[in-house]
């Protein structure tokens, strides 16, 4: 049974997502599952009509399918009591998942092992777990949950209904908005990688700026967001960042940006709203990525590059169509090498024959 302990009927769930039900609308649902692992009480989904065949042996109590495929789904998934048709089945499934599996709730508490500075301002409904440290003049909003081992520095502002998973570290003077989720080991506000060289070595450039993380942001485990040297590093509202991502100092990442794991972003990069970035992408400094750009996995973006809307791939990045053409040529290089070796041998043979047939000069 889901954490909230409440079973929802298919009819109730369909109403919440604007879906249409066929079959037993009063069937009880209490968890979500994949087509292959679902059993009684579960709701599963297929994203398109091609995937319907995979639901032939599905044992779920309800199946979400694309609009217009309800009749076909009933014929294929005969063991499923109820079918829900939705315009976007995957989105509908995700929304139902948040209803059936709500975020874990904690009763308000400050654990006896937590260390909270006298000047900290903690809302009455906050949960603070074991071995947490909260610095002077920091504020934590209502409903926020701070799990074991989290360190919050001085003058930090944390909004309402946030979740800080174990061992998150927030350096001094950073700002976290509302409904932000920071997964285990996230570090926000460490110094940026800024040094100035002289004749004998490197001197640290001042790292006295801050970090602002806006509402509804989620940062994956062990990701790092550096403080600005001067000014601020910003992560915009609704942006979702995967595990092991590094955001350098003075970066400005817009709203609803998605960044996959192991991406590294150098300092002073601007990423506009609604950009999609694959895993292991490397950004040089002072790059600007325009809204609507999609950057494929393992791409390399050279310093100062302006990335316009469209799909980009490769090292250095290039439009996807150009990358595909180049890749096609590269795959033929071994054969071209063999052809060139044969041509060279043939040319040498012809030159030798011509040389043998040329009369010597008197």
- Catalytic site positions: 249
CA–CA separation, 258 vs 238, rounded Å? 9
Q: Are 217 and 240 in contact (CB under 8 A)?
A: yes
The number of beta carbons lying within 10 Å of the beta carbon of residue 59 is 16
- Residue given tokens 């000047």 in the structure block: 119
Separation of alpha carbons 216 and 258, rounded Å: 13
Residue 314 neighbours by CB under 8 Å, 6+ apart: 296, 299, 300, 323, 326
- The CA-to-CA distance between both ends of the chain, in Å, stands at 105
Question: Using the 8-state DSSP alphabet, how is residue 37 labeled?
Answer: T
For residue 295, the cross-strand partners are 277, 312
Q: Dmax over Cα atoms in the chain, in whole Å? A: 111
How many CB atoms are located within 10 Å of the residue 36 CB?
A: 11
- With beta carbons less than 8 A apart as the criterion, state whether 138 and 121 touch: yes
Residue with tokens 């996995």: 297
């Amino acid at each position: 049974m889901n954490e909230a302990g409440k079973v929802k009927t298919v009819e109730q769930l369909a109403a919440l997502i604007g879906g249409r039900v066929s079959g037993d609308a009063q069937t009880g649902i209490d968890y979500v599952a994949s087509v292959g692992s679902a059993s009684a009480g579960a709701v599963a989904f297929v994203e398109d009509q091609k995937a319907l065949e995979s639901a032939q042996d599905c044992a779920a109590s309800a199946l979400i399918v694309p609009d217009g495929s309800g009749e076909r789904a009933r014929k294929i998934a005969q063991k499923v009591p109820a079918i829900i048709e939705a315009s976007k089945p995957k989105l509908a499934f995700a929304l139902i998942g948040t209803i059936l599996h709500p975020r874990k709730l904690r009763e308000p508490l400050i654990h006896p092992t937590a260390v909270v500075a006298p000047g900290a301002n903690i809302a009455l409904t906050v949960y603070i777990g074991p071995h947490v440290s909260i610095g002077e003049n920091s504020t934590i909003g209502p409903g926020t949950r701070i799990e074991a081992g989290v360190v919050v520095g001085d003058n930090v502002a944390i909004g309402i209904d946030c979740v800080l998973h174990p061992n998150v570290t927030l350096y001094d003077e950073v700002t976290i908005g509302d409904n932000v989720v920071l997964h285990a080991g996230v570090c926000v506000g460490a110094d940026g990688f800024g040094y100035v060289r002289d004749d004998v070595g490197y001197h640290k450039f001042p790292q006295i700026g801050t970090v602002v993380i806006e509402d509804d942001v989620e940062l994956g485990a062990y990701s790092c967001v550096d403080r600005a040297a001067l000014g601020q590093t910003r992560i915009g509202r609704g942006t979702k960042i995967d595990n092991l991502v590094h955001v350098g100092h003075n970066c400005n990442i817009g709203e609803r940006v998605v960044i996959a794991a192991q991406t590294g972003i150098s300092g002073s990069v601007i990423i506009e709203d609604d950009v999609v970035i694959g895993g292991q992408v490397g950004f040089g400094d002072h790059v600007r990525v325009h809204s609507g750009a999609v950057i494929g996995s393992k791409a390399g973006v050279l310093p100062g590059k302006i990335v316009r809307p469209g799909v980009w791939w490769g090292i250095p990045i290039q439009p996807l169509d150009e990358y595909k053409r180049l890749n096609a040529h590269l795959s033929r290089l071994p054969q071209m090498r063999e052809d060139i070796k044969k041509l060279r041998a043939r040319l040498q043979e012809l030159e030798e024959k011509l040389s043998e047939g040329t009369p010597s000069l008197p």
